[in-house]
């Protein structure tokens, strides 16, 4: 039995890209001016008035949902979902939505609740409260095999005794499709995933990347609204994993299916995704584009979890808008951006990326990487994909003398491990491989610097 239609939930805070955190109780958002033929029920544009549901509004029944244009709803809506296991809350009031054709990743450490959330979307777990809807249809009470989703696990679970074609055809046969139609669909999907002519091969004859494609083809042939992927690259070796990140992103763009991808690997999330949700302790800390997550973290957890970062702890001595002056516990004074709600005298952690720290910064120009203060929430001059433009370049305002402890060579990702003068604090500094710094060796004292907008301060300890 199909469930009633539901309104896609879109929160009132968080970010400017259409993926929001939970709205206030009773809140709603107008999506477009449209009314069903029936006047006895309410759709979002009909019942939403100034961000609140009007009195007497109620959701439309399934019959009315069938009259709606299919693009009214996103492919996936999750609203205020909670899941508890006895006294432990695995998923805590999570809301988000994914538009059609997007690659959406949920990134977080082990135990944060991301796999539990994915299992609820797939139907293997039931939420204690909240709504999960696929293309506007409430999935409550709908069995996993009846949902328009497919799930790919880390271990691909291909049938070893079946050929590639038989693996892909398995779900179609279970649906009772005619043999001729099955053969045509299998051939089509093999071409879509770049494996034409592989139907007769056995899984043991394939490389790891090819088996990955077969697993995806087995799902895509069933034409799901949403494809769920639970850390599918985790079992691959490093080089193949790097290759598959690019291939997965390319494949998703070609087939146009909505992907929801679960991972603890930030590189996978940042490289492949249109938008990423950073999850911590059952809740979403921030949902944004990969670039904005990296450049403009909304919390100390995001700043510390996404990418590599240096952290100084100190006291906020001056605050003017979102700019401030920090005196570290070692006595150094730096300028940085300041998160909302911090006042003079507050204890703060200041985060700065290694690549924002320049070696011998005299006369150098620093790129801050944050949005300019004047940019509106939906800036017209934003870069493609909704990202804010880079601000103008400026001279480095922060300087520090450091001693090189070690050179950590890793090609383009090489770093200097340094200690500031009078401190045992470790500070990582990017080491560009442009031959300008080949003279640096352990034990050297060098000056480093960074722009006053490159760092950001949050309340001390809030990211732990």
pLDDT for 194 equals 84
Alpha-carbon torsion angle 215, 219, 225, 231, nearest 10: -30
- Which CA distances in Å does 182 have to 58, 96, 150, 188, 220? 42, 35, 18, 10, 13
The number of angstroms, rounded, from the C-alpha of 337 to the middle of its chain's C-alpha atoms is 23
The reported pTM is 0.77
Facing residues of 260 across strands? 104, 228
The two structure tokens encoding residue 13: 């805070």
Contact by Cβ (8 Å): 240, 208 = yes
Helix/strand/coil for 374: coil
Structure tokens at 348: 């703060």
Domain ranges of the chain: 79-290, 308-373+393-459
Contact 214, 107 (CB under 8 A): no
Give the pairing of strands 137-138 and 88-98. Answer: unpaired
Query: How far is residue 229's CA from residue 268's CA, in Å, rounded to a whole number?
Result: 12
Phi, psi at 217, each rounded to 5°: -60, -40
Closest alpha carbon to 261 in 251, 272, 253: 272
DSSP 43-71: -HHHHEETTEEPTT--BPPHHHHTTS-GG
pLDDT of 71 reads 60
pLDDT of residue 402: 94
CATH 2.40.50.100 fits 308-373+393-459, yes or no: yes
137-138 and 283-288 strand pairing = unpaired
Sign for the pseudo-dihedral over CA of 349, 353, 359, 362: negative
Q: Angle formed by the axes of helices 179-192 and 164-174, to 10°?
A: 130
* Long-range contacts of 61-68, Cβ-Cβ distance < 8 Å, separation of 24 or more: 61/4, 61/5, 62/2, 62/3, 62/4, 62/5, 62/137, 63/38, 64/5, 64/36, 64/37, 64/38, 65/4, 65/5, 65/136, 65/137, 67/36, 67/37, 68/5, 68/34, 68/36, 68/43, 68/136
C-alpha span between 461 and 346 (Å, rounded): 12
List of the chain residues with pLDDT < 50: 1-68, 363, 368-394
Strands 275-280 and 103-107 turn out to be parallel
Task: Please report, for residues 109, 110, 336, 421, 461, the alpha-carbon distance to residue 452 in angstroms, rounded to integers and kept in the order given.
Answer: 30, 34, 5, 20, 22
**Residue 433 gets which letter from DSSP?**
S
In the chain, count H helices and then E strands.
10, 24
CATH topology classification for 79-290: Rossmann fold (3.40.50)
pLDDT tens-digit map of 406-445: 999 999 899 999 999 888 899 999 999 999 999 999 999 9
User: Per DSSP, what are the bridge partners of residue 395?
Assistant: 365
Strand boundaries in 127-282, DSSP class E: 129-134, 137-138, 149-152, 226-230, 258-263, 275-280
Residue 94: both structure tokens together = 């999570």
- Give the separation between CA 144 and CA 119, rounded to whole angstroms: 9
Helices 208-220 + 238-255 axis angle, to 10:
30
What's the CA gap between 460 and 464, in Å, rounded? 9
∠ CA(368), CA(372), CA(374), 5° rounding? 170
pLDDT (0 to 100) of residue 45 = 40
pLDDT tens figures, 365-393 = 555 444 444 333 333 334 444 444 444 44
Q: What are phi and psi of 157, to 5 degrees?
A: 60, 40
- The token pair that represents 448 in the structure block: 């480093």
């Amino acid at each position: 039995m199909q469930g009633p239609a539901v309104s896609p939930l879109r929160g009132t805070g968080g970010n400017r890209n259409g993926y929001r955190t939970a709205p206030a109780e009773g809140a709603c958002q107008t999506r477009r001016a449209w009314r069903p033929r029936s006047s006895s029920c309410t759709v979002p544009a009909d019942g939403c008035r100034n961000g609140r549901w009007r009195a007497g509004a109620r959701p439309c029944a399934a019959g009315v949902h069938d009259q709606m244009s299919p693009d009214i709803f996103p492919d996936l809506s999750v609203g205020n979902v909670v899941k508890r296991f006895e006294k432990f809350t695995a998923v805590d009031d999570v809301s988000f939505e994914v538009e059609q054709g997007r690659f959406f990743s949920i990134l977080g450490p082990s135990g944060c609740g991301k796999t539990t959330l994915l299992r609820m979307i797939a139907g293997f777990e039931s939420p204690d409260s909240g709504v999960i809807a696929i293309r506007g249809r409430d999935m409550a009470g709908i069995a996993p095999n009846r949902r328009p989703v497919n799930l790919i696990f880390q271990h691909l679970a291909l049938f070893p005794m079946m050929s590639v074609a038989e693996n892909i055809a398995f779900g179609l046969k279970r649906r009772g499709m005619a043999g001729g139609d099955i053969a045509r669909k299998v051939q089509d999907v093999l071409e879509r995933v770049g494996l034409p002519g592989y139907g007769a091969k056995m899984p043991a004859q394939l490389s790891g990347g090819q088996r990955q494609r077969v697993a995806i083809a087995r799902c895509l042939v069933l034409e799901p609204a949403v494809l769920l992927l639970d850390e599918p690259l985790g079992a691959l070796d490093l080089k193949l994993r790097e290759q598959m990140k690019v291939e997965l992103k390319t494949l998703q763009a070609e087939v146009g299916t909505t992907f929801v991808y679960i991972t603890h690997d930030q590189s996978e999330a940042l490289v492949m995704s249109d938008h990423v949700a950073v999850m911590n302790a059952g809740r979403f800390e921030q949902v944004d584009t990969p670039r904005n997550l990296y450049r403009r973290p909304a919390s100390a957890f995001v700043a510390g979890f996404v990418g590599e970062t240096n952290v100084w702890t100190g006291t906020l001595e001056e605050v003017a808008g979102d700019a401030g002056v920090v005196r570290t516990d070692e006595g150094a004074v730096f300028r940085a951006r300041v998160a909302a709600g911090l006042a003079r005298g507050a204890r703060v952690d200041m985060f700065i990326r290694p690549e924002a720290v320049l070696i011998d910064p005299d006369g150098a120009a620093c790129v801050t990487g944050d949005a300019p203060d004047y940019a509106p929430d939906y800036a017209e001059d934003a870069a493609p994909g909704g990202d804010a433009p880079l601000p103008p370049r400026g001279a480095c305002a922060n300087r520090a003398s450091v001693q090189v402890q070690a050179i950590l060579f890793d090609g383009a990702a090489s770093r200097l491990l340094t200690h500031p003068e009078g401190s045992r604090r470790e500070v990582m500094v990017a080491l560009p491989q442009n031959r300008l710094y080949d003279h640096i060796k352990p034990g050297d004292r060098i000056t480093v610097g960074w722009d006053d907008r490159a760092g950001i301060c949050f309340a001390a300890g809030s990211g732990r």
